[in-house]
Every structure is written in C-alpha cells, then in structure tokens.
A and B are shown apart, each in its own frame.
Chain A
Amino acid sequence: MAGTDAMTSGRTHAPSVGQRITRIEDGPLLTGHGEFLDDIVLPDLLHCAFVRSPLAHARVDAIDVEAARALPGVHAVLTLDDLMPQLRSGRMPLGASPVGGQNKSTPFVLSDKEVAYVGEPMVLVVAESRYIAEDAAALVNIAFSSLPVVSDARKALADGAPVCRTELDSNRMSNFHVGYGDVDEAFANAAHVFEDELWQHRGCGHSMEGRGVVAEVRPGGELCVWSSTQMPHDVYYMLAGMLRVEQEKLRVVTPDVGGGFGPKYCFYPEEAALPAAALLLRRNLKWVEDRRETFISSIQERDQYWSMQVAVDSEGLLLGLRGRMIHDQGAYAPKPVNLPYNAVTAVTGPYILPAYRMDVDVVHTNKVPVSSVRGAGYPQAAFTMERMLDLVAVRLGIDRAEIRRRNLIPADKMPYTKKLQARSGASLVYDSGDYPAAQAQVLAAAGWSDFAERQKKALDQGRYIGIGLANAVKGTGRGPFESGAVRISQDGKVSIFTGATAMGQGIATALAQICADELAIGPDSISVTAGDTARTEIGLGGFASRQMVTAGSSVKLAAKAVAAKAIKAASKILSVPEGDLELDDGYVREKTGNQSISLGELARVLRGAPGYAFPDGLEPGLEATIRWRTDALSYANACHVAEVEVDPDLGQVTITRYVALNDSGRMINPMIVEGQVQGGIVHGIGNALYEFMGYDDEAQPLTTTFQEYLMVTATEVPNLETIYRETLAPGNPIGAKGVGETGTIPAAAAIISAVENALSPFGLRISQTPVSPEILFKLIKSARDAARQNPDSQS
C-alpha cells in the first residue's frame, strides 16, 4: 500500500487490502434480515401517499379534500397550507453549493397553485395503511386549468414558446460558456472540419428499492427521519433549515439503501413533507415510493442535444472542438447546474485538445426534474467526444483506435493540466494514468487488429458484425472531505463511523479492510456505521464516485492514529519502549517479549475512571476522527471494446463480446471493483439500447411501468471480460480512485461505435442513444433508399 507502514510479518491476519474478501454486508441481506426503509416498524405508524399532478402544466383552481378526509381510516389530507406552520418556506432550498442565476428553480414542498410536470406532488394523504391512503388519494378532487406545455428543450428556446412555469420569463434557466484557446483560429487552419448533431435521451436511475421516508416524533421535541438517500447529512442540513426544529433535535439516518445510482442524491419534496406532517400531526409517518412514482417523480438524466464541430489536421490530430449544448433540465432544478457543467468540462476526456469552446443552454421543460444518474454528465460527454473521433476516423479512413492513440494524453505528460476548471474552481488536473497503454492492452485482449478480417468473412455470409471502442476519464473522489472515525470500545470491538453512505456498493467492507490493516485485525470483526447524523457530526455522502477516496483516506488516517495511540498507551502501561511494541489481533504485544495488553483494556484505561489516575501525556479515548481534505480529483480511466452483431431486418443488436479495462488506482477489494465495473457496464448497455423514458408532445410520460421502460435483464448481456490496471492515485493516502461510474461512462459510446461499424456497408451514422431496433431499422432503410437513389454515394 502506498506509504503504509502496516506490519506484515508474523501477524495473525494477513493484510486484507487488495484481497477479494467477502463482504461484511452480506449476511443479513442474504437471509432476509436487511433493514431497508420499508422494513422500519414504529409504534402507531401511519402510512402516506401523495396525490400527484396528472397534467404537465396547469393552474390549480381548487383542491377539494373533503371526500378523501371522510374515508374511514384516513387521518389527514394535507395541502401546502396545512404544512406551512411547520415550515420556514414552502419552497425547497437549492441543494449543494449555491451559485448565482438560479432564482425560482427549486420545486415546492407541495404544489397548490401551479403544476409543472406529471408527477409533481400536490397533496399528502395520511392513513392507517398504504392501501387506504391510496384509496383516499383517488378521492381528492382537483380542478385544473390547462396551460401550454413545453415538451422539447430545443423548442423551449424559440421565440413565443410557452414558459414551463408562469413565474418564469423564459425557459432558459442558465447560459454559460466554457472553453480555452483560439478555437476560431484552429478551425480556420484545419485540414478537415466535420460536424454532427448528437443526442442522448433521458432514463431513470431505477435502484430496485425506490425512495422512502420515515419520520418519528420523539419525546422532547426530537425528530428522527430515516430516508433512503445517498445524502443523509444533506437531508439533515436542509431539514434543519426548513423545519421549525432545532438542528440538535433532529437526526437523519439511512437504513440499508437498496441502490442509489444518482437519483437519491437530491433532497426531495417528500423528504420535507413527511417530517413536516409528522410534526403537525405528532404522529410517526412512513412513505415508500412505489415504482410508478419513481417513473414520474425521481430524478432522470441524460437529455442533452449537442451540435458539434471538430477540426483536425491531415493526420487526424485534434485542433479544435466547438459547439452548443442544450440541456433539458425538466421542470425544476433541485441542484445548481453541476450536471451540464460536468458534461461540457468532461468532453475533452483523455485527449489533448488545443482549443475548445462550448455554449450551453440549460432549459426548463415540463418534465421530471433532472439531476444525476450514474455518470452525471460524463456519459454524454464521452458519447460526444468518442462519436466525433469515430466520425473523423471514418471520414479520413484512419483506424478508430489509431486516431485515438494519436490524440491520447501520453503517460509522460502526467500530471496533465486541462485548461478547464472543476466546479470547485480548482484547475482540472489529471493526476495519473497511462491512457495509451490502457487502450493498447484492451485492444490486444479484444482482438482488435484481426477483427477486420473476421468482419469480412462474416459479411460474406451475410452477417453484420462490428467492433467499437471508447475511452473515458472520470474525476472521482470529490471533496471537500468525508468524515471517518475509528473507535475502540471497552470490549475491544472496533467500530467505524463515517459520513459516507452505504447504498449497496460495499463501502463498509472496503473501509473495514483499510482499518483492519492499520490495526492488524480481521476486517469481519469491524462494525461500520454509515449515514447517521447522530453518529457522525458532519459529512457529505454518496456522489461522484467519491467515497472510497475520501472516506477511505479519512478512515486510514484515523485507524493509523488509533494504532499509534494504542502503542503509545501500551508503552506507558507496560513500560516497554514504543518501538518494541506491535499491534496484532486485538492486542498490543512486545515484538520479542511476552507482555501484551488488549485493545479493550487500553480502551477501558483511556476512557478514564472517576477520580482515578490517567496515563501521562495521553488524551482520553481510544478513538480518532479524521476529515481528510481534498480539492483535487483522482482521475480514473476506462477503455471499453464492444463487439456486436446486427440483424438488419429486425434492427436487433446482440452484444457478442465485451472487453473492458478499468483503472481505478489501488483496488481495496478487487471483487467489489469488478462488481462496480460490471454493473456499470450493464447500466450503460441499458442506456445504449434499451432504456428510454418517453414523453409525448404534451409531456405526458409514455413509459411508466417496467413493461414499457426496458431494464436490461440477464438474457441480454454477454459475460463481460474485465481487466484492470492499478495506477496509484498520488493525491490520497490510499492510492485509490473511484469506480462507481467508470463502467457506465464509455459503454454507450463503445456499443454505438460497434453497431455503426457493423452497419458500415450501409454507410450510416448513429448519433443518438438509445437506439431501439426500430430506430436502427429505419436508419438502415433510409441508407438503403439513399443508396438506391444515388448509387455512387455509398461507401
């Protein structure tokens, strides 16, 4: 391990970092004893349902709740007016660090005057059971006057377009530019300029467990809120600001979280409404998002339109890239514009690009609000860059891998400073990585060089096979910090407390492994408490593939501090020089002699006894809390090669082989890393070929069940071949980089590259995802028709 001084000789427990150890999370989850949000049972718990807008844009003329209130078993039917005495504001606060230019962007706790998307929460029903709550919700009678709808972000900018909410002057929420270098000069001097219009459509996060909130009113005016969120501390700070409750009387806890994938990053209206209603009614309340609610109220992402031009020299070296991007923000913006900002600053990826300029419009539409879904802007960025490189390669007749090789940042230029800024304002510095070597390695593994021959043979048999590749870089480990505390209890049990959120990714096991090695114990004896604001005072949570780097670094340093303190205390108690002592299996022992003392005993001594002596020169407590600070990002990279076969009569794409290289620095637990990469790739396969959140021209959602919105199942994916490099991150004490999103980011680009390659006999170009079989069928048909009309143009 980078910079470690953990002992390795003669110890009971072999170091666990780097080992594929089974997870400490698994036992309860395998036996049905996990505790997810809906598993929480409290005395006299009441159940909630929301009445949601059936219209994409309408004025609310009247809300009649009388029939609903009269239904037996109903305790309350609440509108915003009813909740207002408990709230400082009826409008949600802007999440994360606020930046300017974003007035009137956040949603309402409940909407009672105007609704701006189908699914917007309007009325909260409280009843004895969810069944009755849903019965009552159906009885709430709302009179609406329809208002004009903005369904397409591009049309939303047109003169005279209706506004998505009447309080706005324009649907343009924000306009900004990023870039550097003299782009116009680059284009003026270019040997070749190519252009394309690209689109990635929106999909949902669809963790298998939806969102959910439980609010418990406790004696003494305390309020405990459980939420299935990635961001318990954020929920805590936001609620403290919104409710008329003192911060110190509030506690937010995440139970077991059944997947995050981005949508649980935001603070939602339901997370404010439930606690407010609980305070109002003085009752314990539960709301569990059902799947239809996920489709119409949980964050969606990826709807961006990119109009791009690329300038290259005669060898295909990049000279400049410019364009305009329209980001469909949906009806509200619960967060600042981080996502489109991520996208346009990530476009240049692992490549050297001398000049760059993007003009970005962030545009409201009458659709579900947009924030992050696994990748958070990076998949669109990778899709844009990789598709443009393929365009250059195809037009110039240069191999697609070769054009990338020529433009990749070479390893000897690391660390490499991009002339762009991260959203913290810090320069965007790629800390480490060998992109050309990574690409070469995966190409060799995937048989890239002999594919053309295989393709020709297949074509002779009438089969359309194709290969594609894509590179990606992901800034991981976003700061400014994450809390990590290590504490030894009087029985010697080691506990970790962190502001990181466990949402299925195995963070508890990975943190335990890091801690175990510092304390020379086994990781399975360590307990990890993540996501409890009463146990961890400040923290950030799960986003941007950050927790391994940030929480892992804090836990490592905290465990190291605890180890040092244990040695120091033992030295005093045993009268043995510190240098002669070592930690092993719960004891501090003499390296050569027979004396030892258990960590439990040390903890008992260090917790103090009333009025008795205390070891000289030591602070009380056998524990340490570290909040390792960082402003820099650790850049993970990936290179994926996909092989497909396309049936042109059906437009059917079969992924026949998938080889992915991932470099996320030090792998604390390679098994967990592999799981993240594989799951991420399959999410990307969904984005490329299956997942499509449809809306009609009136912004009515068309895909609100899992029969219409297609999640990838086990029968659609091949066995993924994953290979790994471990370029240690120089900027953090554990050498790790994040891995939660690197699998997803290049996947759609690689697959579409392969599909386009398979269909190269038709000379067609694919500039969007997802591509359904019918879309491909139509593309092939129009290519065939065009070829018939103009036989010379076919490539």
Chain B
Amino acid sequence: MDTHHLTRMANQIGSFFEAMPDRQEALAGISQHIKRFWEPRMRRELQQYLQHGDGAELSGIVLEALQADDDWKV
C-alpha cells in the first residue's frame, strides 16, 4: 500500500489528539486509534516504514506515539 498515504493518514490522526492537554492521553489515543481501526496490512506497512526509514514523513507526536507503544504493531 502507498506508504505516503498511510503516513498522511497517521498525521491526520495525530493532529486531532495533539490538541489534548494530557500528553499521555494523546499518545495513547494515537496508537490505539491505529490499532483499533487499521487493518493489519496497513499497520504492517507503517511498521516497516518505521523500521526501514527515518520516520521523517510522520509528525513528531505520531512518531512518539508509535515508538512509545508496541501494542499497535502486527
């Protein structure tokens, strides 16, 4: 699947949660949203992108959320 499209979707999710005053809640919200709504091949693609790339296409909070939690991974 198109990695650029997936990172863009992840950043959109990040933008919603980033406004939360509780940073931990926001981080958990991002990774849990991806776990609960993204089909495994989409998560796998994102996972591979993180493993093999520098994550530059991801916003700071999304990168932090995905690195802080393994639960979303396939």
* A interacts with B: no
Q: Which residues does B use to contact A, with CB under 8 Å?
A: none
Q: Which residues does A use to contact B, with CB under 8 Å?
A: none
